[in-house]
Structure 1
């Protein structure tokens, strides 16, 4: 299993956008992350910067990356 993850250990969901303030994923994406194939994870990760920018959320830099 790949350890690729956008998680920055800031796990809070924005009530307006339903996106994680730390990584930009939705709750369903976070819940399924371990079950996703690597290609699906990378596809989601490629969408995150634009998704967060569109939602007006600034990425929060974290000190650790976890799955």
Structure 2
């Protein structure tokens, strides 16, 4: 299995290196491992879903504001 670094995952997913490291620390990336002080991510790992939005209320509110 091939692994990529947090920098490579960040470029691939359009995130910052720091955000990818946080996702690794929170075990939100499937198959992530710690190699010394470096996170290694499986090459086939998918970008985790954004967990900040818990309900549809926020989405509806934003749509209403953009239509006004």
TM-score after normalising by structure 2: 0.24
TM-score after normalising by structure 1: 0.24
Larger radius of gyration: 2
Q: Return the structure number with greater relative CO, CA threshold 8 A, min gap 6.
A: 1
